[in-house]
Amino acid sequence: RTLNRQYKYAEAEAVLRDTLVMRRKLYGNDHPMVAQTLLELAVACRARSPSERERCVREALAIQRRLWPEGHTDMVGPMLEIAFFCPPDEAETLLREALEITRKFLGEEHMIYTQVLTHLAYCVAAQQGRAAEGEAIQRKALEILQRTGQGETGGAGQAWHQLGEFLDWQGKLEPAEEAFRRAVAIQLTITPDPTTIRSFFDLSNVLRRENHRAESRSTMRQAVSWTDSAFGAGSGLALQVKNDVAWALYLAGEYSDALAIGEVALSRQRETDDIKDTSIVALADTVASIHEALGHQTEALDLFRETVRLATERLDSDDVRTIRATSRLGSALFDAGQAAEAQ
C-alpha cells in the first residue's frame, strides 16, 4: 500500500502478489483480507494493464458478495471502480445497488451516499444521454450536501460543476452559468485543485454563448491568474492553461488577447524547456496560428518552422502533431508566395 502511494507500482505489484498467495493460504479464498489485497493489486496494475486491474476488482467484489449476501459498505468502493470502465447499463445497475447499500447501512445523509449519487448522475446523463434525469439526481445530492452543512466543501464544488454540465447539455444556459459560478466560488476557497480550471473554462464557454464576451474573456484571464498563483507561473499546468486559453481566444477571434497570453507562455516554456517535454510543440503552433491570423507573416513563418523542428526532434514522424505542424508550415509558405518550398 505504501509503495502504491509512492507511485512505485511495479514494486507494489510484486509485493502484493506474494501477499495474495500468503493470505489465500492463511485464510482461504473468501476472506475480507484477500478481497482487500486484490483491490490494492488493482491499484498497482492500473497503469500497466487496465484489463488486469478490472479482473482484480471484479474478483474482489465477487468475494465480497459471497461473504456478505445482504450487502456491506466495503462493497461500495469496488462497485464505483467497476462502474468507471464497464458498459453504461452495467454501470447504472452497479451504482444503484451501491446507492441502496449506502442508504441501508449509512443513511442518506452520509457523505458516501452523496458521492454515489454524483457518480450515478454522471452515468445517467453523460454515458446514457439522460441529462434531465441526471440533473434531478445531482440536485438531490446538492440538497443533501447543503442540508448536512457540506455545501461549501470540495464535493459540493464538484457537484455544482457537474450540474452545470447537465444544464448546459440541455441548452439551459442561464442556470448552467449560475451552477458554474457556484462551483468556481466554492473551489476557490479550498485547497487548489486542477479541476477548478474546468469550471473556469466551462463558465467562460457558457458566457461566450450567451454573448457576454467581455466577461467570458475576463473569466479566462482569471483562470490564468489563479493557476499561476496556485501552482506557479512556470509550472507545466500553468503553461498548459495559458496555451488552452490562448487557443480558445484564437478560436473566438480575440487575436490580440490570445497573442498576449500565448507569447508569455511560450517565453516561459523556452526558459524552462526540457527536450523530453512535447507540450512546447502545441504552444508554438498556437502562437504561430495567432500571428498568422493577425497578418504577421514573418513571425508566423518563423514559428511554424520552429514548431516543425520541435515536433521532428521530440515526436515520431507519423505522430499527428508532427504531420499537422508540417502541413501548416506548407500552407503558410504557400500563402507567403513560396510555392516551391511549400510543395
One-character DSSP codes across 131-143? HHHHHHHHHHHHH
pLDDT in the model for residue 299: 94
Amino acid 87: pLDDT: 92
Q: Residue 32: its pLDDT value, please?
A: 96
Asked if 161 contacts 180 with a C-beta cutoff of 8 angstroms, the reply is: yes
Phi, psi of 158 (to 5 degrees): -65, -40
Query: Which is nearest to 161 in space by CA: 179, 175, 178?
Result: 179
Residue 262: per-residue pLDDT = 93
The 3-state DSSP class for residue 276 equals coil
Output the pLDDT for position 119: 96
Q: Percent of the chain, pLDDT > 90?
A: 78
Entry pTM: 0.81
Give me the pLDDT at residue 3, please: 84
Q: Rounded distance, CA 233 to CA 12, Å?
A: 34
pLDDT beneath 70, residues of the chain: 275
Residue 278 cell numbers, joined: 512535447
The model's pLDDT over 146-185, given as tens digits with 9 standing for 90+, comes to 999 999 999 999 999 999 999 999 999 999 999 999 999 9
Overall size of the chain counted in residues: 343
For residue 24, what is its C-alpha cell?
A: 489465500
